[in-house]
Amino acid sequence: MAVSKSQVNASRKWEKENPHRTGYAKLRRTAFSFVNPKPGSKAEEHINANHADYVEDLKELQYEINKKLGEVKMNQTVKNLVAEKIDRHITTAYDGDVVIKKDSVDVKNGRIRFWDLGDVTSWIDLADINCTEEEAKELVKHCITEALFALSDKPVTTDFDVK
């Protein structure tokens, strides 16, 4: 089945507009091809010709993958601790009523900033928790949304947005 010129052009345009996704896909294919080459492929032929090196390289890859998964797990633990701090800061009880102070936490200048009475009282440097500003903003938004859901006695219907 032949691919039309317009389909090829559309694919090239998408690749050009999405360089990180395209690069990631190429890296992923390369890694999977190395670990599990297609039968009869050149990759399989090269691997068979260097079998002892291949086994050692797989062991080294396994070690690096396990190390990376440990880092990801640690990052999730740090993320959970930061979320708990955000939750504690945005949730306040006044005379038995719980209030969510959406504007008491923000993300700016490489920090998650905690506000009280118009002043920044503390912060977390994003570099210390290996987090981008976009990830931090999403975490703050998620914490506020979860806190609002926890207080709501009505189901979410339409036009619900946390800013």
Closest CA to 107 of 78, 130, 141: 141
The model's pLDDT over 121-159, given as tens digits with 9 standing for 90+, comes to: 999 999 888 888 999 999 999 999 999 888 877 655 555
Please tell me whether residue 98 adopts helix, strand or coil conformation.
strand
The per-residue pLDDT for 54 is: 96
Whether 131 contacts 116, CB under 8 Å: no
Element (H, E) at 102: none
Phi and psi for 28 in degrees, rounded to 5?
A: -65, -45
Sequence-distant (6+) residues with CB within 8 A of 155 are: none
Phi and psi for 92 in degrees, rounded to 5?
A: -135, 145
Angle between helices 5-17 and 19-35 (to 10 degrees): 100
What's the pTM?
A: 0.55
Q: Which residue stretches of the chain have pLDDT < 50? A: none
Please tell me whether residue 1 adopts helix, strand or coil conformation.
coil
